[in-house]
Amino acid sequence: MLQIEWQNRIELAASYHLADYFGWSDIIWNHITAKTSQHKNTFLINKFGLRYDEITASNLLEIDLEGNVISGEGKINYTGFIIHGALHNAKKKYSLCNAYPLKSRPSYILFKNGIRAYHTRCCNVP
């Protein structure tokens, strides 16, 4: 595994823990994803069934843009794959995407020039 891939795993796991700390998790139902690296067409996602406080760098799953698990063991949240896979496939410049399916919270996408918020009901991402 490349160093950048491991670093992305560590930072994504930390994102899950921060989201949990701030009360942005919904037990096991929402998700945050990050590109594995700029050199691959894969991304990292939480294993279905884990709470945010249980996620670690080593138990994240690497999946391709068709939803196949490339590394790791477990099942993915299929809804998370559909939403995040489409975003990662359509917008190669995304590094991180999260979705909190709560009516009062937007989704956030990390671009090279900063974070932008989008409401999942709109999904009109430039």
Residue 76 lies in a domain: yes
> Total domain count for the chain?
1
The three-state (H, E, C) secondary structure of the chain, written as one string: CCHHHHHHHHHHHHHHHHHHHCCCCCCCCCEEEEECCCCCCEEEECECCCCHHHCCHHHCEEEECCCCEEECCCCECHHHHHHHHHHHHHCCCCCEEEECCCCCCCEEEEECCEEEEECCCCCCCC
Residue 112 lies in a domain: no
Tell me which residue range forms the domain holding 78: 3-93
pTM for this entry: 0.75
Residue 34 lies in a domain: yes
Full pLDDT tens readout for the chain, 126 residues = 789 889 989 999 998 898 888 887 777 877 888 888 888 888 899 999 999 999 999 999 999 988 899 999 999 888 778 777 777 776 666 565 655 555 555 555 555 565 555 545 444 444
Residue 124 lies in a domain: no
CATH number for the domain harbouring residue 28: 3.40.225.10
Residue 44 lies in a domain: yes
Q: How many other CB atoms are found less than 10 A from the CB of residue 80?
A: 23
Residue 103 lies in a domain: no
